[in-house]
A and B are shown apart, each in its own frame.
Chain A
Amino acid sequence: MRSLELRSVAVSIMLLMTFLLAWHLAVTGGSSGQKMDPEYAKLMGITATQGKSAMPSPVDVGLTLWGHIKDPFYVRGTNDVGLGLQLGYSILRVAAGYLLAMAVALPLGFLIGMSPLMSRALDPFIQVLKPISPLAWMPLALYTIKDSGLSAIFVIFICSIWPMLINTAFGVANVRKEWINVARTLEVGTLRKAFTVILPAAAPTIVTGMRISIGIAWLVIVAAEMLVGGTGVGYFVWNEWNNLSITNVITAILVIGFVGMLLDQILARLGHLVTYPE
């Protein structure tokens, strides 16, 4: 077991090294550029004059990343704040939309799971609303909510509600019949049954739904912020795209991936806490 772990780490590092090396070789090649009038060359960018690839090398990205890590919380005006602050804005938005979705999805999921009638009645709505791309809601949200910040939160809410709702309903509906029957024999009240029997039994499924939701919410926030702009890591990507700074875009991609992984790990830990041996 121990040696398998070590070996897998070694393979991971090797893969990473190979990738970085290939990347480095791929971007350092290129011609020395054609002859140009120096007057004209002064007005042109290095991609045009030196034939340099617009793609940065891994070293460039590493340096930029280090620059952001060194000074993550600077504020140089409304439209230029540090990457750390941008991440903070994004995480706050995700948290707000996600908690709202939880507040709606968990009770509603319980209701659907426990009542076959509601389950059938709500099913068509869920089936129609679930596959809608969350960003398609954005124009409608901007028009009705009349606030871009709240609209972004609404989009997070609407995209993270479905996995939680469906998993909760599924988990609640599939609690083992024997346990429900035991509760019934003991004449446990509905509310008590819900909290002491069904909730612990369905918890692993519910947490799995929550884990899927947080992943989707983090995917969507970047796109939503690119659309409404202002603050957040999505805005950062857009702003650097604007400047065609691929280096900063790649840096942002790495950071987004890292934060997404952290969020996922938190929910995975929560999942471990609620699992039980049968």
Chain B
Amino acid sequence: MSIFNNPFSGSKLFRKSGGCSCGKHSSQTEHELAAAKEANAVASAGEEQQLRRVVEAGLMRALFPNDASRRAFIQAVGASTAAAALSEIFPILTATEALAAGGAPEKKDLKVGFIPITCATPIIMAHPMGFYAKQGLNVEVVKTAGWAVVRDKTLNKEYDAAHMLSPMPLAISLGLGSTAVPFTVPAIENINGQAITLAMKHKDKRDPKQWKGFKFAIPFDYSMHNYLLRYYLAEHGLDPDVDVQLRSVPPPEMVANLRADNIDGFLAPDNICQRAIFDGVGFNHILSKEIWDGHPCCAFAASKEFVTAAPNSYGALLRAIIEAAAFASKAENRKQIAEAIAPANYLNAPVTVLEQVLTGTYADGLGSVKKDPDRVTFDPFPWESFAVWMLTQMKRWGQLKGDVDYKGIAREVFLQTDAVRLMKEAGLTPPEASTKTFSVMGKTFDPAKASEYLDSFAIKRG
């Protein structure tokens, strides 16, 4: 739908379908003409009116992901009542004002923490390539030693926002492994881009069933790496808590540990995996996209307090990240990015390694060159269903106990609505659908049936 469509029109569909979608017009062409007319009217009504529509549309979509129920609601109470009810619970006007490009950032000098891995590419490259500066921000990107430190420094407000593993903001909001502080994920950074790397001596043990007694490193307990590795092992009949040992090791220390024979392998972020191959220490077993093609990995996270206390700074920061991610998602820009983020100030890694990760033409460690342009890609959209999946895995492995309000928590933390709005501002097209299903190792995940999904696993805790 056009972003200028009236979201309070009870008879309008958000998604286009065959035939006239509202039934008021004899043909779809006529319907579109009428819609275009209305859109034009709004467009000419001035910027504020437009922004207000954008906010309202995003809000309605977030509240009623299902078109049928949205229309039913509006038809039942009337459009004006619906709008009034919405402004009761959500200050549409304030949000509109905050969005208006004129709003100067409350705070210009910001600190953003990152861990030196390619997942952080949008956050890092936005500095040397001027995406922050374009938004009028003076951002300092600070390299940090480990995930626990990133978490603590962000909670301490030493950082205004930070690069985190996408399950971390969920864990922080829930008070797992730290005090509960409401956190948000306004943008995902990368899709795919992880791999299972094994030590060279295991060259012939390619079947996970032979991995009993292995020691694996993962970056953090609350990480996609942990959940994906556990998922992969469990699908092959290994209980990750009994048959193997999983250790939390900060990414930069993984290669050194693999070389020292402390671990047998790891499911880790790139450039670490490629670095192990580059140094002849390990080989690529599988890329993480072979477990779940299109999985999220790292996130751009900020505390809810920052989002509400400095909405303009937050908006500007997020626009920079989203634009950087969009730039990074284009294959032709990847070489340039690899060069921009390689220096000691950022990743401090050889350009060859970064190029192999970002372009997807890489040495596999066993003597051949592989090509996979989707090895890593960048897509800022924080699907709520991603969060629901992570929550099911937290529950599955006993990190989360008792009844879980999957949908509620996911919505609180993953700010899908903000992403829609900001992507549009950046001239990008946000996804049309409001929910996303995907499949992990051939098994389809439906976010609406999270509990059933969880029950279907043979290996789980509790």
Contacts and interface: CB of A to CB of B under 8 A. Distances in A.
Contacts of A42: 352
Given A43-B356, A79-B142, A241 B252 contact: yes
B125 interface: no
Contact of A229 (B144, B155, B361, B367): B144
A45 B253 contact: no
A244 B156 contact: no
Interface string B143-162: 11110110011011110000
Interface string A45-88: 10110000010000000000000000000001111100000000
B141 interface: yes
Contacts of A76: 343-345
Contacts of B252: 238, 241-242
Contacts of B158: 147-148
Interface stretch (A3-11, A33-41, A204-212): A33-41
A39 B152 contact: no
B402 to A, nearest CB: 26
A78 B127 CA distance: 11
B152 A43 contact: no
Given A143-B152, A147-B156, A227-B149, A45 B279 contact: yes
A48 B368 CA distance: 14
A246 to B, nearest CB: 10
A243 B348 contact: yes
A238 B141 CA distance: 17
Contacts of A39: 369
A149 to B, nearest CB: 9
A228 B152 CA distance: 10
A146 B345 contact: no
A251 interface: no
A119 interface: no
A52 to B, nearest CB: 10
Contacts of B414: none
Contacts of B361: 43
B140 to A, nearest CB: 5
A140 to B, nearest CB: 11
Contact of A48 (B149, B155, B279): B279
Contact of B345 (A40, A47, A78, A241): A78
Contacts of A77: 343, 345-346
Interface string A164-194: 0000000000000000000000000000000
Given A79-B344, A148-B149, A242-B252, A43 B363 contact: yes
Interface residues of A, number: 35
B175 interface: no
A199 interface: no
Interface residues of B, number: 41
A90 to B, nearest CB: 15
Nearest to A80: B345
A142 interface: yes
B280 A79 contact: no
A42 B352 CA distance: 9
B388 interface: no
A197 interface: no
A44 interface: yes
B371 to A, nearest CB: 11
B363 A54 contact: no
B278 A78 contact: no
Given A44-B363, A241-B252, A242-B252, A228 B352 contact: no
B116 interface: yes
A118 to B, nearest CB: 36
B368 A79 contact: no
Contacts of B153: 148
B279 A79 contact: no
A80 B344 CA distance: 6
A270 interface: no
Interface in B254-293: 255-256, 259, 275, 277-280
Contacts of A100: none
A104 B435 CA distance: 60
Contacts of B143: 78-79, 229-230, 239
A135 interface: no
Given A40-B367, A226-B145, A229-B149, A54 B279 contact: yes
Most buried by A among B152, B275, B352: B152
A146 B278 contact: no
A43 B352 contact: yes
Nearest to B362: A43
A43 B363 CA distance: 6
Nearest to A78: B140
B156 A242 contact: no
Contacts of B430: none
A48 B361 CA distance: 18
B126 to A, nearest CB: 14
Interface string A20-34: 000000000000000
A65 to B, nearest CB: 17
A226 B256 CA distance: 15
A37 B140 CA distance: 42
B152 A48 contact: no
9 nearest A-B residue pairs (beta carbon)? A48-B280, A77-B345, A80-B345, A229-B145, A242-B252, A43-B363, A146-B156, A79-B143, A80-B344
Interface of A: 36-37, 39-40, 42-45, 47-48, 54, 76-80, 139, 142-143, 146-148, 226-230, 235, 238-244
14 contacts: A37-B368, A42-B352, A43-B352, A43-B361, A54-B259, A78-B140, A78-B141, A79-B344, A139-B148, A146-B156, A230-B142, A230-B143, A239-B348, A243-B348
Given A37-B367, A226-B145, 4 more contacts: A39-B369, A76-B344, A142-B152, A230-B143
